[in-house]
Chains A and B, each alone.
Chain A
Amino acid sequence: MIGIVIIGIVTGIALVWITSYNSLVKHRNWAEESWAQIDVQLKRRYDLIPNLVETVKGYAKHEQETLTKVIEARNVIAEPNATRNERVEQDAELSGLLRQLFALSESYPDLKANQNFLQLQEELAGTENKISYARQAYNSMVMRYNTKIESFPSNIVANMHSFLRNDMLDIPDEEKEPVQVRF
């Protein structure tokens, strides 16, 4: 009789252990996949910027300084050993610079009428929005993962198998506004 009870308890614990472990892995992968989404969009923006700079160059020769800054900021984002939060911060800086660049175009009617420029502007604005959506998805996945790590009984399993807390991405308030594009 006692044997059966012990077997029951052990099986119960084992089951809880396995489900907790699997669910931790699942949540961690969700968070990782959400980060990959941000990365895809960062890469997309990285690829679009040279085209934009080329297009603007032809019309706004005097804005060399802004253009150089944009290119520099772009190159920093590609830095391979930056942490996630660093990359997102640099990305926010780039957003600010791009906003300046689009504001500049107001004084160049030819540029503003350029079909290629308009399309790039739309693409970049779209990508920027996607980055912020992806960031939001990442944060909510990280929140769920962290909650899982801290709540009973999965916290015991998380401790034993060293599942570590992920950091959420934080952005200064003034960077939260997406690039405003008006037609």
Chain B
Amino acid sequence: MFYTQISRNKRNTVFLVLAFVIIVLLIGAAITYIRTGDYLSGALFAAVIATFYTIFMISTSTNVVMRMNHAREITSSKDQAFLWHTVEGLSIAARIPMPRIFIIEDESPNAFATGISPKSGAVAVTTGLMKRLSREEIEGVLAHEIAHVRNYDIRLSTIAVALVSAIAILSDIGMRFFIFSGGRNNNNKHPLILVLALVLVLLAPLVAIIMQLAISRNREYLADASAVELTRNPEALASALENITGNSSPVEEASSSTASLYFADPLKKKAATLFSTHPRPEERVRRLRAM
């Protein structure tokens, strides 16, 4: 049932974001501990950096993402009437303002959404998607994208990406501190904690990336469930997924930094790993058919 899936996914996301915040604070504490034996100022320093970075990332606009993917905006229902009406209808059902619509010239069928709040939302579809999928399947895919907009998924993933970058920067600073101050002034530090701090500084970026991708995969399931809430047609979305993933060509315009925004992994990596941006399509189809 989609209602239970939605609430379970929301809970998981809260836990993941909390874990992110803890990692940021820990790595900050570790840095100043390595340097001076004091951990509080570092945690504070890390919190400031992470907040600054997150605000910066959030304020970069939809246009940047769209330009990155070479999209053309559709501004009236005359152009691509079906696409226009479906997006408008779905946003009525989702009770959000109608997002801007973009078309990407690409033979590979795919779609993505962006915008940090429903007010600034935008969805983009490839020309391949419009050509190869049936009307019901396209509706399912669009509902999935509208769900991303409504669930504030883009804001969440932007925050996650920002925190990953912030953690990478902090880790870098930590390593420099360690290299330049290693061996000196170590009297007031516990050697075991010092080693732990070092391991943390080394591993945090990796853990952060794995977590960011876990959030991304989790939100895909949520968007699938919400899409079914909007269209009440899980079968159409399932067959759209099968159609899209059955098509083996990657989206040419997709860059790896926007990969997690797409409906299905645009880079078409084969194996499912900790580093996948999307859950395995077979698993998404299985969950959809179980709804």
Contact = CB atoms under 8 A, between A and B. Distances in A.
Given A34-B95, A137-B95, A129 B81 contact: no
Given A126-B86, A129-B86, A130-B88, A119 B93 contact: no
B31 to A, nearest CB: 45
A144 B222 CA distance: 21
A123 B86 CA distance: 11
A125 B85 contact: yes
B93 A133 contact: yes
Contacts of A137: 92-95
B17 to A, nearest CB: 27
Main secondary structure of the interface of A (DSSP, over half): helix
Interface residues of A, number: 19
A75 B89 CA distance: 24
Contacts of A136: 93, 230, 232
A168 B94 CA distance: 18
A127 B85 contact: yes
B75 interface: no
B81 A133 contact: no
Contacts of A126: 77, 81-82, 84-86, 88-89
Contact of B92 (A30, A123, A133, A181): A133
Nearest to A119: B81
A86 interface: no
B95 A133 contact: no
A32 interface: no
Nearest to B84: A126
A118 B92 CA distance: 24
B90 interface: yes
A167 to B, nearest CB: 19
Contacts of B89: 126, 129-130, 132-134
Q: Which of A34, A122, A132 has the most CB of B within 10 A?
A: A122
B85 A129 contact: yes
A130 B81 contact: no
A66 interface: no
A41 B90 CA distance: 13
Given A126-B81, A132-B89, A133-B230, 18 more contacts: A37-B92, A119-B78, A119-B81, A122-B81, A122-B82, A122-B85, A123-B85, A126-B82, A126-B84, A127-B85, A130-B88, A133-B92, A134-B89, A134-B92, A136-B93, A137-B92, A137-B93, A137-B95
12 contacts: A34-B95, A41-B92, A125-B85, A126-B77, A126-B81, A126-B82, A126-B88, A126-B89, A129-B86, A133-B92, A134-B89, A136-B232
Interface of A: 30, 34, 37, 41, 119, 122-123, 125-127, 129-130, 132-134, 136-137, 141, 181
